[in-house]
């Protein structure tokens, strides 16, 4: 008896397993399975990958700054600071960072220059190889004076070998090895160019350091904690606006913030795919519920209790979820490895551990998809009446709006919140998503109705197809929206890549500057001026440049991100200090600053492409100090005419009133400045100049040959900048394309799930049409055209959406006049029609292959 009882208590378990086994084998659960796998794999790979990147970058936190503390500034440090560090027995190293040209024969390359002292680095390891064939790297400090270490790409781009000479500024230096690991690597080098490391003793020989040069001085300190802290207490009050004092944690926080933002952006973008996967689960589980309704009724009619059925289906669903989640994790792990492999040359993730976070987030997402989006159909299923076995089975109409929609909406909100960590943003995205979907739906419905009217005049197949499309309009809504968005993004990327940038480049007049010359010393201006005049080279003249910081507005100090960083690193401050600080901040009501050092200049005449919109430009004779500010920045910083702005240049500080506000055409590619002063303010400071030249292809060799005489001048080729921009766009495109694949996959799943849900209805219709004598080709074509029309409508809406987005980009970002891209409309409509038609036909293939007899027997 007890055995029987025990058997009874586990019978639901056995039956549940049996059901799962058969359903999986028959492919009935494939859509739900793939949808959950897709959601879990996406979340896992994304979270895991970004987590590993973050870890790899910030893990060895003391290594990332090459010291315990760093003092960063734009001018040389006061000797007293170094002396103080020595009295505290701190280790000390120095690093100078700048951008400069590296020359080898006729080749030149813009590179990131690191000049380091012999003690560098104090923490972490600088690793080099002295030959390309050497397998293991060796740990080193600074290269010997007269030599440099370069990143491998310098060799190929300058066509040089180890042992050969390159010129940095005016100094010839021998390449002694290649750098494989820099502890405090500047991630700017990704954008600026490959790094060249030289000994700081060689820096004067290069003659690159000129007044106004864009140079970063870093002073590195390390030592006993106590000594470091006492040094910190001593130095902090002396730090001014143009200097930054930070530890590894602050650097790490800064980097983490950037990575977090990138991660958030990618996660939210992939939310579209995850939401679609969840919708696929919802659609498929509704069909699942309807398909299983007879089974539950039969179970109950045969005597199964509600609890038996509930347990059976809950386990069935739970097992399916677990299986899908596990498969999703494995797939996600595979994707993550692929990602790690793809970036291996930039960053090795081999040592980065995998935390629990991606596992938990992915599992939670999977559960949310499996439960929240399926709970209503499963609950309804369990409630199926046994009486249905007698009365027959009818598909219960689900109310469009009701409580049953609450769990999916809550789940969506929760998913958005997990990825954005921002309540307001999650709400806004949810509402925004609903509004955008609604607008797309409205248009989609309109187009489907229009299609229906047109269809009556088209052939029989089209007539049937468009009538069906309109009748299933509400079922088709989700895939319409998803395909529209996917196609739109695809078109946008294509148009951006192939069209907008080239259109933007082409719109400039011929004499638009295409080269920027930086770091021009005062004695070089004369020969350069003579050269451009003799050779008729269009140029914008020479602008003196000074590097400075806006430190106060009307006497109120400005706050920018660097200050926030120092706040972070000050976390160890005592409570009383903190209170005092916050009191001080409140009293001062600090104002928003620029957050970076600015290029400042003086002019006697108002520059071209500038227009005064408030106040007046100064007279040449007017020696009263004053500044003219660019209008957008004035608006952002809430600066008005007459406001006093305080600037810090190195260790000097001065305050000037705003006497005019200028509108600047930033799109002109001319040299433009946010702050322009009159001569009397800046002329006493040492300076270098910059210039912008328009060099034609014929003149290029002549100009480059001439400029080779001035190796300290950094030449930035606009074409190279555009190539850099294109390569950044290329990289962003890869990330967006991955997300697009996800969206297209999830959208296809929704389409297939929707087709499956309508399968019985389609069978009945086809059977009726067959009975009435419809030809096989008519039926096939009507099904094909239905999906083709759906895809074409999505493509059309996507094209319109793309055109609007492109117009906004053209008018707002690139300041161009709008243009149509009709050739891409054809691509959008064609691709939509082809892809949706293909997926639709594949989903209906089994149905279309049934013989008339089978079809009629199955449904009649």
Residues that bind other proteins (CB under 8 A): 3-5, 7-8, 11, 14-15, 18-19, 22-23, 26, 28, 294-295, 298-308, 386-387, 389-392
Tell me which DSSP letter residue 714 carries.
Answer: E
DSSP 412-479: HHHHHHHHH--HHHHHHHHHHHHHHHHHHHHHHHHHHHHHHHHHTTS-HHHHHHHHHHHHTHHHHHHH
* Nearest-angstrom CA–CA distance, 141 and 123: 11
Question: Residue 15 or residue 558: which is nearer to other proteins going by CB?
Answer: 15
Question: Residue 292 or residue 821: which is nearer to other proteins going by CB?
Answer: 292
Are 815 and 726 contacting, i.e. CB atoms less than 8 angstroms apart?
no
Question: Residue 307 or residue 619: which is nearer to other proteins going by CB?
Answer: 307
C-alpha neighbours within 13 Å on the C-beta side of residue 214 = 18
Which residue has 């080729």 as its token pair? 717
* Nearest-angstrom CA–CA distance, 825 and 798: 8
Question: Residue 11 or residue 774: which is nearer to other proteins going by CB?
Answer: 11
Question: Residue 152 or residue 294: which is nearer to other proteins going by CB?
Answer: 294
Question: Residue 86 or residue 305: which is nearer to other proteins going by CB?
Answer: 305
Are 767 and 859 contacting, i.e. CB atoms less than 8 angstroms apart?
yes
Q: Cα-flanking dihedrals φ and ψ of residue 633, to 5°? A: -70, -40
Residue 450: CB minimum distance to other proteins, A:
38
Residue 23: CB minimum distance to other proteins, A:
5
C-alpha neighbours within 13 Å on the C-beta side of residue 455 = 21
**Structure tokens that stand for 582 in this block:** 């916050």
* Nearest-angstrom CA–CA distance, 724 and 730: 10
Residue 25: CB minimum distance to other proteins, A:
9
Question: Residue 397 or residue 457: which is nearer to other proteins going by CB?
Answer: 397
Report the 3 state secondary structure along 543-587.
Answer: EEEEEEEEEEECCEEEECHHHHHHHHHHHHCCHHHHHHHHHHHHH
Question: Residue 306 or residue 556: which is nearer to other proteins going by CB?
Answer: 306
Residue 351: CB minimum distance to other proteins, A:
48
The closest of 434, 464, 433 to 451, measured between CA atoms, is 464
Are 499 and 821 contacting, i.e. CB atoms less than 8 angstroms apart?
yes
Residue 859: CB minimum distance to other proteins, A:
13
Question: Residue 392 or residue 555: which is nearer to other proteins going by CB?
Answer: 392
Question: Residue 287 or residue 549: which is nearer to other proteins going by CB?
Answer: 287
Report the largest interatomic distance among the alpha carbons of the chain, rounded to a whole angstrom. 113
Question: Residue 26 or residue 457: which is nearer to other proteins going by CB?
Answer: 26
* Nearest-angstrom CA–CA distance, 224 and 218: 20
Residues in the chain: 860
Residue 771: CB minimum distance to other proteins, A:
18
Question: Residue 300 or residue 376: which is nearer to other proteins going by CB?
Answer: 300
Which residue has 């001014």 as its token pair? 240
**Structure tokens that stand for 140 in this block:** 């080193």
Question: Residue 5 or residue 397: which is nearer to other proteins going by CB?
Answer: 5
Residue 301: CB minimum distance to other proteins, A:
6
Is residue 73 within a helix (H) or strand (E), and if so which, with residue range? strand 69-73
Question: Residue 285 or residue 601: which is nearer to other proteins going by CB?
Answer: 285
* Nearest-angstrom CA–CA distance, 757 and 427: 31
- Torsion of Cα atoms, 511 then 516 then 519 then 520, to 10°: -20
Residue 503: CB minimum distance to other proteins, A:
58
Residues near 680 by beta carbon (within 8 Å), at least 6 away in sequence: 623, 624, 625
Residue 287: CB minimum distance to other proteins, A:
14
Residue 367: CB minimum distance to other proteins, A:
24
Which residue has 């350091």 as its token pair? 209
Question: Residue 13 or residue 265: which is nearer to other proteins going by CB?
Answer: 13
Question: Residue 57 or residue 312: which is nearer to other proteins going by CB?
Answer: 312
Are 384 and 62 contacting, i.e. CB atoms less than 8 angstroms apart?
no
Are 815 and 632 contacting, i.e. CB atoms less than 8 angstroms apart?
no
DSSP-derived pairing of the beta strands 652-664 and 644-649 = antiparallel
The closest of 653, 836, 639, 841 to 747, measured between CA atoms, is 836
Residue 280: CB minimum distance to other proteins, A:
21
Residue 495: CB minimum distance to other proteins, A:
48
DSSP 612-650: EEEE-PPPTT--S--EEEEHHHHHHTT--TT-EEEEEET
Are 669 and 512 contacting, i.e. CB atoms less than 8 angstroms apart?
yes
Residue 846: CB minimum distance to other proteins, A:
12
Which residue has 């067959």 as its token pair? 770
> What are 515's strand-pairing partners?
693, 717
Question: Residue 86 or residue 854: which is nearer to other proteins going by CB?
Answer: 854
Q: How far is CA 271 from CA 274, 279, 372, 418, 745, in A?
A: 5, 12, 16, 11, 13
Residue 274: CB minimum distance to other proteins, A:
29
Which residue has 């602008």 as its token pair? 543
Residue 32: CB minimum distance to other proteins, A:
14
Residue 387: CB minimum distance to other proteins, A:
5
Residue 331: CB minimum distance to other proteins, A:
26
Residue 323: CB minimum distance to other proteins, A:
16
Are 381 and 313 contacting, i.e. CB atoms less than 8 angstroms apart?
yes
Question: Residue 26 or residue 589: which is nearer to other proteins going by CB?
Answer: 26
Are 349 and 343 contacting, i.e. CB atoms less than 8 angstroms apart?
yes
Q: What angle do CA 601, 667, 669 make, to 5 degrees?
A: 55
């Amino acid at each position: 008896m007890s055995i029987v009882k025990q058997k009874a208590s586990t019978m639901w378990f056995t039956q549940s397993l049996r059901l799962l086994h058969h359903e999986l084998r028959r492919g009935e659960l494939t859509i739900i399975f793939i949808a959950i796998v897709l959601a879990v794999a996406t979340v896992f790979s994304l979270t895991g990958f970004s987590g590993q990147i973050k870890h790899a970058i910030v893990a060895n936190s003391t290594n990332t700054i090459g010291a315990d503390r760093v003092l960063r500034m734009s001018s040389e440090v006061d000797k007293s600071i170094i002396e103080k560090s020595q009295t505290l027995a701190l280790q000390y190293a120095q690093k100078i960072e700048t951008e400069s040209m590296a020359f080898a024969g006729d080749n030149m390359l813009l590179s990131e220059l690191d000049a380091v002292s012999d003690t560098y680095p104090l923490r972490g390891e600088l690793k080099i190889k002295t030959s390309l064939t050497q397998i293991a790297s060796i740990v080193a400090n600074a290269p010997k004076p007269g030599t440099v270490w370069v990143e491998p790409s310098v060799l190929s781009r300058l066509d040089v070998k180890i042992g050969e000479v390159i010129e940095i500024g005016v100094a010839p230096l021998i390449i002694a090895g290649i750098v494989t690991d820099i502890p405090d690597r500047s991630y700017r080098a990704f954008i600026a160019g490959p790094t060249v490391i030289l000994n700081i003793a060689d820096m004067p020989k290069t003659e690159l350091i000129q007044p106004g040069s864009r140079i970063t001085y870093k002073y590195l300190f390390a030592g006993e904690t106590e000594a470091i802290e006492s040094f910190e207490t001593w130095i902090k009050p002396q730090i001014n606006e143009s200097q930054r004092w930070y530890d590894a944690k602050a650097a790490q926080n800064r980097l983490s913030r950037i990575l977090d933002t990138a991660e958030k952006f990618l996660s939210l973008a992939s939310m579209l795919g995850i939401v679609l996967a969840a919708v696929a689960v919802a659609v498929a589980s509704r069909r699942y519920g309807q398909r299983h309704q007879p089974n539950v009724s039969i179970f109950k009619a045969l005597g199964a209790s509600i609890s038996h059925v509930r347990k059976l289906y809950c386990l069935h669903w739970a097992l399916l979820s677990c299986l899908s989640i596990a498969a999703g994790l494995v797939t996600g792990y595979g994707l993550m490895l692929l990602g790690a492999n793809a970036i291996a040359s930039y960053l090795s993730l081999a040592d980065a551990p995998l935390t629990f976070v991606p596992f938990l987030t992915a599992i939670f997402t999977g559960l949310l998809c499996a439960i929240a989006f399926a709970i209503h159909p499963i609950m309804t299923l369990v409630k199926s009446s046994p009486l249905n076995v007698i009365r027959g089975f009818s598909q219960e109409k689900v109310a469009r709006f009701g409580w049953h929609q609450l769990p999916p909406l809550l789940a969506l909100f929760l998913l958005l919140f997990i990825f954005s960590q921002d309540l307001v943003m999650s709400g806004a995205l949810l509402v925004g998503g609903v509004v955008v979907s609604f607008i797309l739906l409205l248009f989609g419905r309109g187009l489907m109705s229009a299609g229906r009217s047109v269809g009556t005049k088209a052939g029989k197949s089209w007539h049937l197809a468009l009538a069906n499309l309109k009748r299933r309009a509400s079922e088709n809504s989700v895939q319409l929206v998803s395909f529209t968005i996917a196609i739109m993004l695809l078109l946008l990327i294509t148009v951006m890549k192939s069209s907008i940038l080239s259109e933007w480049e082409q719109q400039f007049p011929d004499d638009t500057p295409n080269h920027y010359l930086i770091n021009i010393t005062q004695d070089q201006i004369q020969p350069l001026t003579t050269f451009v005049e003799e050779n008729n080279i269009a140029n914008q003249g020479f602008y003196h440049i000074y590097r400075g910081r806006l430190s106060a507005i009307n006497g109120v100090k400005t706050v920018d991100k660097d200050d926030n960083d120092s706040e972070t690193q000050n976390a160890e401050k005592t409570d009383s200090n903190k209170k005092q600080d916050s009191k001080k901040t409140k009293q001062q009501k600090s104002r928003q600053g620029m957050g970076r050092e600015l290029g400042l200049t003086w002019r006697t005449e108002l520059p071209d492409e500038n227009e005064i919109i408030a106040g007046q430009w100064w007279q040449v004779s007017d020696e009263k100090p004053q500044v003219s500010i660019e209008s957008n920045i004035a608006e952002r910083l809430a600066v008005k005419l007459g406001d006093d702005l305080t600037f810090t240049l190195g260790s000097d500080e001065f305050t000037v009133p705003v006497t005019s506000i200028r509108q600047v055409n930033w799109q002109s590619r001319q040299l433009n400045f946010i702050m322009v002063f009159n001569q009397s303010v800046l002329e006493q400071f040492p300076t270098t100049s910059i210039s912008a030249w328009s060099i034609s292809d014929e003149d290029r060799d002549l100009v480059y040959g001439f400029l080779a005489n001035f190796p300290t001048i950094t030449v930035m080729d606009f074409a190279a900048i555009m190539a850099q921009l294109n390569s950044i766009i290329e990289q962003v495109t890869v990330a967006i394309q991955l997300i697009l694949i996800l969206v297209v996959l999830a959208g296809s799943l929704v389409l297939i799930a929707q087709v499956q849900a309508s399968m019985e209805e389609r069978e009945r219709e086809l059977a009726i049409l067959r009975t009435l004598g419809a030809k096989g080709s008519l039926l096939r074509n009507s099904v094909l055209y239905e999906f083709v029309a759906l895809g074409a409508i999505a493509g059309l809406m996507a094209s319109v959406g793309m055109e609007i987005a492109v117009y906004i980009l053209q008018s707002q970002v690139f300041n161009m006049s709008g243009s149509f891209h009709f050739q891409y409309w054809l691509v959008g409509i064609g691709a939509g029609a082809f892809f949706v038609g293909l997926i639709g036909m594949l989903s209906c293939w089994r149905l279309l292959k049934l013989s008339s007899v089978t079809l009629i027997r199955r449904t009649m």
